[in-house]
Amino acid sequence: MNADIKKRFLDFSIEKLEKKYSSFAEADNDVEGCQQIGAECALSVVPNLLDDEMNSENMDEDPTAESEEEDQIDQ
Domain ranges of the chain: 3-58
Does residue 63 register a pLDDT over 50? Answer: no
Query: Count of CB atoms within 10 A of residue 37's CB?
Result: 21
- Can you tell me the distance from the alpha carbon of 8 to that of 48, in angstroms, rounded to the nearest whole number? 10
Q: Between the ranges 6-10, 36-40, 60-64, 65-69, where is the mean pLDDT highest?
A: 36-40
Q: CB within 8 A of 16, min separation 6: which ones?
A: 37, 40, 41
Which of 40, 12, 14 lies closest to 27, judged by CA? 14
Give, to the nearest 10 degrees, the angle between helix 3-20 and helix 31-60.
160
- Summarize pLDDT for 30-59 with one digit per residue, the tens: 999 999 999 999 888 887 777 766 776 655
